[in-house]
Amino acid sequence: MASKVWATAIVVLLAAVLSLVVVVEHILSVPIAGSLLLFLTGAALSLFATTAMGIRLAIVGRSMPQFGLLLILVILPLEMLSGGMTPGESMRGIVRTLMETAPTTHFVALAQAVLYRGAGLSVVWPQLLAPAVIGVTLFAGSLMLFRRRLQALG
């Protein structure tokens, strides 16, 4: 499971660095206000949590079509309600509370704070802690569920 997380994370983080440095800063000449390292740390933690969520869905789904349907039912609402497309302030209380358990919500807040406003670690540490806790919880739960499934088969 760890190799799945690392392989995905390395590719996405390299693409993010190239996009920010080459396209945003050099081609578009838009300055990045905050620390690129802090942004990448947040992106790595968000990728870990999101990948752990994908692994959990893959274990729950019994086949590839089931996994695809679960992915659509989970990932689409997470992306739409993360704060990138719909501001959290416009959501009802229960939806906003539910979205606090999603890593994408914390990543959007971190990215906006660091890249647009130049926020430092003292401001965004909660957005770093949340996906770490979400990722570890999902990863550990997925590992336990996977091991139970293996024991049931063998």
Range of the domain at 111: 36-153
pLDDT of residue 28: 93
Average pLDDT over residues 1-19: 84
Cβ–Cβ under 8 Å, residues 131 and 107? yes
pTM listed for this prediction: 0.86
Alpha helices by DSSP H, listed for 19-120, are 36-60, 64-80, 93-99, 103-111, 117
22 within domain boundaries: no
Instruction: Tell me the helices (H) and strands (E) count for the chain, helix number first.
Output: 7, 0
Dihedral, CA atoms, 148, 103, 9, 12, nearest 10 degrees? 140
pLDDT of residue 1: 63
23 within domain boundaries: no
pLDDT digits (tens, 9 = 90+) for 101-141: 889 999 999 999 999 999 999 999 999 999 999 999 999 99
State how far the alpha carbon of 125 is from the alpha carbons of 44, 45, 107, 114, in Å.
14, 12, 11, 11
7 within domain boundaries: no
User: Number of folded domains in the chain?
Assistant: 1
